[in-house]
Amino acid sequence: DNGLIITADSNLYTYNNTGRRMLDVQHGMINPTISVAGSRFLAYDRGGTKVMLFSRSNQLRQVSTDFAIYDGDMARNGNFALASRSDRHLSQVIAYNGDGNIICRYLFSRRPAVCVSLADSKDAMTVGLLDAQNGDFLSVISRYQFPIENPTASIELPGELILHLNYQDGSNIRAITDQRVILFNSDMKETASFSYGEQQLIRFQYGEDGKLALYLRDATGERKGRAVVLNDHLEALCSVPQNADPNGMALENGILY
């Protein structure tokens, strides 16, 4: 929403669209990771236990977890969720409301939860779980509706490594794996897919209007590849050859940087 967040080694900064600094806070995290939702954002220490919730200009609250955090996400309705280790289970996902109160706690004994994504306008989330089968990866994506304990829908992806989930507005869910990007509906039925072919995914970046930018490296061993921009139906809008791996990507106002 026209603001800028910068995470430095010791501090978090926010700026408005005129360049005025709105926030300057020491975070005390080793690996600060940010999830933005409108004018609020969540900062958590990936691999640590510290969690902080901010507006543009203030720290709203701090939450401490008992176990190392794997992933986190924040929704525009104020909900946020954290996937972490657990004491008696392989992992857990805890969903909170905007006041920092626990909505639900989901425990996983068979598979660790490695990624999580919340719906912006409803009390729902998706969780990516990782397993192995016949000497290869087995990823499982499950959709949960708060406060129902069991998943309302699940899908298995044999031979694929789940990397990231993105619960889009409405009821579409995007999953990024090591082999392709997949679009699911709320029943976890696949509706579209974009394969990397023989190339390897190096970077990805979300943009506005459901767009997604990918950088795919050739399998030749040279650091050459292509930047691809997909729309919200996973149709390729452009494919631009590159002669070197990018250090970062941004997608804004129809422009890929």
- pLDDT, tens only, 94-131: 999 988 899 999 999 989 999 999 998 888 999 999 99
- Tell me the per-residue pLDDT of 3-51, one tens digit each, with 9 for 90 and over: 889 999 999 999 998 999 999 999 999 999 999 998 899 999 999 999 9
The predicted model scores a pTM of 0.91
Average pLDDT, the chain: 92
Identify the DSSP state of 146: T
Decide if pLDDT at 142 tops 90: yes
The arithmetic mean of pLDDT across residues 141-170, rounded, is 92
Most confident region among 63-67, 84-88, 212-216, 220-224 by mean pLDDT = 212-216
pLDDT of the residue at 226 = 95
Pick the closest to residue 236 from 190, 196, 186 (CA basis).
196
pLDDT of the residue at 29 = 95
pLDDT of the residue at 253 = 83
Name the E strands within 65-199.
Answer: 69-74, 80-84, 91-96, 102-108, 113-118, 124-133, 136-145, 153-158, 162-167, 173-177, 180-184, 190-195
pLDDT of the residue at 209 = 80
- Tell me the per-residue pLDDT of 171-224, one tens digit each, with 9 for 90 and over: 799 999 999 999 999 899 999 999 999 999 999 999 878 899 999 999 887 889
pLDDT of the residue at 223 = 83
Which SS3 state, helix, strand or coil, does residue 210 take?
A: helix
